[in-house]
Amino acid sequence: MTEWTQVEAMSQLEPHFETLDLICRGGLARYREYPPQFLIDHDGRAAANCIYAHMVALADAELTDRPGVVFKNIRGLKVWILGERATIRFKKMDEDGRWTNNPTEQQRDFDRQIALPGIPYPPLNLVVGYLPDPTGTVVDRVQVSKPMGRMIDWCAAIVPTTDDIDRSYGWVDVTRQARAL
């Protein structure tokens, strides 16, 4: 299996940074439009499920018909192939690029960098997601992480850069360094 560096992986996503940012921030923004009497009834799991549904709808609208983008629904696992190899799925994340869910076998294989049916080999399976602020009402940052089974190989933040002419997007490595013992 070919190992993808963080730089190589992020270069596959770079043409889509603005759209990925819009999808993740837009998913939470749409959820926050719910009437307060409904929001109060949602626990964290219900909120994350609603936000995920909004992100998938936005990804379908913003990514699916773009040249060079292929959508796949692999037994319920919804992924988009961007560029030559990058296959992404969307999740809510913590600051380390981790997420929680009830994993299916294909999600476990995706996280282990195992090729799934219809996915390019060697796989470059990435998770794109949002890190909410402590109140869960605003996106602190949009992140990309590369899972390696239950571990995270690296995590990068998609960051807007502004200059006097236009707004563009770049990325920074936000992988937390292990503490030396």
For 97-133, the pLDDT digits (tens) are: 999 877 888 899 999 999 899 888 888 999 999 999 9
Query: Would you say residue 45 has pLDDT above 60?
Result: yes
Instruction: Give percent of the chain above pLDDT 70.
Output: 95
The secondary structure of 88-157, three-state, reads: EEEEECCCCCCCCCCCCHHHHHHHCCCCCCCCCCCCEEEEEEEEECCCCCCEEEEEEEEEECCEEEEEEE
